[in-house]
Amino acid sequence: MTIVLDGKSLAKSTEEDIANRVKSLKEKRDITPVLATILVGSDPASATYVQMKGNACKRVGMDSIKIELSETTTTDELLEEINKLNENPNIHGILLQHPVPSQIDERKCFDAIDLSKDVDGVTCLGFGNMSMGEKAYGSCTPQGIMRLIKHHQIQVEGKNAVVVGRSPILGKPMAMMLLNENATVTICHSRTQDLESIVKQADIIVGAVGIPQFIKSSWIKDDAVVIDAGYHPQKCGDIELTDIKDRSLAYTPVPGGVGPMTINTLILQTLESCENS
């Protein structure tokens, strides 16, 4: 029977556990985990994501502070804000909402986040540590996907995993996480030739492309594990899921699969940062 990798329900049950741990921190150490979010500019989708992250904090009894900066913010101004948050002992996690306006050196700003507060897993150092199998907060979407896979005891070791997409926040860390679990990993991108034949080899396929239903159902073999990180306004992901529900070993529904795990991982890692502080 096909396993539905139901991120919505796993995120909900984990929230209960997170809320209990937050309560215990308050009672035993008189501290509350705090996530600082930074939003630069007025992109409505980014504003919604930041709002959703603040709401998730509230649901589990954590605090969040929202820093909103203008569209014309410079790299130096943003770095100054990040440094203030780095130095504030009451802040346990820092999230810089991606993307930032084009005049800003996003990589430089991500890397300015103190490693101990990099709960969104965006720094090069954090990526390096994670890739080497050292302790690190993983980038939230791929980390959420790995939590979902592990929760459902999906075998990764020895499997052919194909990740379509190589972005720093999703495709690349996803590939390293699967490699760390002993999958044989192929990373595909916009210059990949004959994508179809590579996807056809996949025991585990991860769609992280950003194009609606780009990966066709006919490319995916029976009994594959199908992970769709995309979510588009037409309520579909990056993979054509038409008959996948009936013939895959497991799949993430869209919506309700990967999406809820991303925010859940962010608040979980903020809690862990606070517990470790």
CA dihedral 254, 213, 224, 140 (to 10 degrees): -50
Quick check: 167 binds ligand NAP (CB under 6 A)?
yes
Please say which residue, 28 or 191, places its beta carbon nearer to ligand NAP.
Answer: 191
Is 11:145 a contact under the CB 8 Å cutoff? Answer: no
Please say which residue, 170 or 274, places its beta carbon nearer to ligand NAP.
Answer: 170
**Which part of the chain contacts ligand NAP (CB under 6 A), choosing from 20-28, 67-75, 154-162, 225-233?**
225-233
For 102, the 3-state DSSP assignment is: coil
Helix (H) or strand (E) holding 176: helix 171-180
**Which part of the chain contacts ligand NAP (CB under 6 A), choosing from 12-20, 37-45, 149-157, 169-177?**
169-177
The crossing angle, in degrees rounded to 10, of helices 171-180 and 124-131 is: 20
Catalytic: 223?
no
Quick check: 229 binds ligand NAP (CB under 6 A)?
yes
Please say which residue, 156 or 227, places its beta carbon nearer to ligand NAP.
Answer: 227
Question: Which of residues 122, 164, 204, 227 is near ligand NAP by CB under 6 A?
Answer: 164
**Which part of the chain contacts ligand NAP (CB under 6 A), choosing from 16-24, 28-36, 51-59, 227-235?**
227-235
Please say which residue, 180 or 192, places its beta carbon nearer to ligand NAP.
Answer: 192
* Dihedral pair phi/psi, residue 188, rounded to 5°: -110, 155
Q: Minimum Å distance from CB 101 to ligand NAP?
A: 16
Kindly name the residue from 6, 118, 120, 203 that is annotated as catalytic.
120
Q: Minimum Å distance from CB 86 to ligand NAP?
A: 24
Its sign, for the CA torsion 130, 135, 141, 142, is positive
The crossing angle, in degrees rounded to 10, of helices 258-276 and 44-59 is: 60
Residues 173-212 that bind ligand NAP (CB under 6 A): 188-192, 195, 208-210
Straight-line distance from the first to the last Cα atom of the chain, in angstroms, rounded to the nearest whole number:
44
Quick check: 113 binds ligand NAP (CB under 6 A)?
no
Catalytic: 84?
no
Catalytic: 108?
no
Q: Is 55 exposed, middle or buried (0-12, 13-18, 19+ CB in 10 A)?
A: exposed
Please say which residue, 136 or 195, places its beta carbon nearer to ligand NAP.
Answer: 195
- The C-alpha atoms of residue 61 and residue 20 are separated, in whole angstroms, by 9
Is 67:81 a contact under the CB 8 Å cutoff? Answer: yes
So which residues are the catalytic ones? 53, 97, 120
Binding residues for ligand NAP (CB under 6 A): 141, 164-167, 169-171, 188-192, 195, 208-210, 229-231, 238, 258-259, 262
